[in-house]
């Protein structure tokens, strides 16, 4: 793909996991959205959710394997479905693209390999194995990899070593807290300085609030990379790790909204106004994460004009 793809305004999709729950997905334990890959009866829901975002103006859709990392599969006693689930995520994204007949791109989600929003303190080789296994399964279906909600240089370097060997470019999604730093206590600038290589397509803030994005925009502008965001609309200022609200022992998994709430007042119109403000700051990559719906994406699609 064109390495300068994100140098002009591009629209990403929104929150797949929450869309699936809204469409009727009954998650098992802490599998969350990966339930829709393991259980065949939900496959068409995944395609529908992708199509909803494509129809709303998304030029990039992200594979639905965020929760299909091996550790989560092991915890929920479905490790034997690991290959199947990750390949299916790629297949269903391709199916949605084909049905849409639109020239969209597919981003392969490479999430943090342990819990979300926290540092992975495990041995480097264990983390690398996790990234590699997911990346190899996704590669036949995707245009580039998306490092999905990473929390520090350690994870970033490991993931980039994997993707470089697979010869696909990367959009880097970093998670920061309200103090403006990653969970590793590094700044965005430090992580980019430590990890940037020739395969970077750009950098975005991943699953953070609009307020945190706005506070970090000036620092991102100095990185000399295309930059932007996938904003969440949780009511909680900072999202909490999955183990705080979902357990593999639960027969039915909890909806994260029960713990973190949703900002019902953050309408699609308000999301657009925020997008206009960020466009003036130099943002070229616009999208949503948890609790951002097709209506939000549809509104910000006009930013391309």
Cα 64 from Cα 109, distance rounded (Å): 7
Longest dimension (CA), the chain: 48
Residues 67, 71, 75, 79, CA torsion sign: positive
Reduce the DSSP state of residue 111 to 3 states and report it: strand
| Residue 300, H or E segment | helix 294-300
β partners of residue 12: 60
CATH number of the domain enclosing 278: 3.20.20.330
pLDDT score at 253 = 78
What is the H or E stretch that residue 288 is in? strand 285-288
DSSP character for 184?
Answer: T
Give residue 185's region: left, alpha or beta (phi > 0; psi -120 to 50): left
H or E element, residue 170? strand 170-174
Blockwise average pLDDT, block size 10, the chain, 305 residues: 96 97 94 97 98 98 98 96 98 98 98 96 97 98 98 98 97 97 98 96 98 97 97 94 79 84 96 98 98 98 93
Give me the pLDDT at residue 252, please: 77
Give the total number of structural domains in the chain: 1
Residue 50 is inside which H or E element, if any?
Answer: helix 43-55
The model scores a pTM over 0.95: yes
In the 8-state DSSP scheme, what is residue 81? G
How far is it, in rounded angstroms, from Cα 164 to Cα 214? 31
Residue (of 29, 63, 69, 28) closest to 46 by Cα position: 63
Question: In which domain, by residue range, is 173 found?
Answer: 5-304
Give the separation between CA 239 and CA 118, rounded to whole angstroms.
10
Nearest alpha carbon to residue 121 among 147, 72, 150, 155:
155
Find all residues with CB under 8 Å of 93, minimum gap 6, and list them. Answer: 50, 61, 62, 63, 64, 106, 141, 142
Structure tokens belonging to residue 241: 């790790």
Q: How many CB atoms are located within 10 Å of the residue 224 CB?
A: 8
């Amino acid at each position: 793909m064109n390495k300068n793809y994100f140098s002009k305004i591009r629209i990403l999709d929104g929150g797949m996991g929450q869309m699936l729950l809204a469409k009727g997905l009954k998650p098992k334990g802490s599998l969350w959205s990966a339930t829709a890959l393991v259980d065949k009866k939900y496959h068409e829901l995944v395609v529908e959710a992708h199509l909803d975002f494509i129809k709303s103006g998304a030029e990039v859709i992200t594979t639905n394997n965020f929760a299909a990392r091996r550790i989560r599969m092991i915890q929920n006693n479905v490790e034997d479905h690991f290959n199947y689930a990750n390949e299916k995520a790629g297949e269903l994204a391709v199916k949605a693209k084909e049905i849409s007949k639109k020239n969209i791109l597919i981003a392969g989600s490479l999430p943090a390999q342990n819990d979300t929003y926290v540092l992975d303190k495990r041995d480097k080789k264990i983390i690398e194995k996790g990234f590699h296994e997911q990346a190899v399964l996704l590669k036949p279906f995707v245009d580039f990899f998306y490092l999905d909600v990473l929390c520090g240089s350690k994870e970033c370097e490991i993931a980039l070593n994997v993707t470089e060997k697979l010869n696909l470019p990367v959009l880097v999604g970093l998670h920061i807290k309200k103090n403006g730093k990653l969970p590793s206590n590094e700044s965005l600038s430090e992580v980019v300085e430590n990890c940037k290589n020739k395969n970077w397509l750009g950098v975005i803030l991943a699953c953070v609030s609009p307020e945190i994005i706005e506070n970090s925009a000036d620092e991102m502008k100095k990185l000399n990379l295309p930059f932007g965001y996938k904003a969440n609309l949780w009511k909680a200022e900072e999202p909490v790790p999955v183990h705080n609200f979902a357990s593999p022992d639960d027969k039915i998994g909890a909806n994260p909204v029960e713990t973190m709430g949703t900002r019902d007042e953050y309408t699609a119109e308000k999301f657009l106004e925020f997008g206009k403000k960020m466009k003036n700051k130099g943002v070229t990559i616009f999208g949503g994460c948890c609790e951002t719906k097709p209506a939000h994406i549809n509104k910000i699609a006009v930013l391309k004009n």
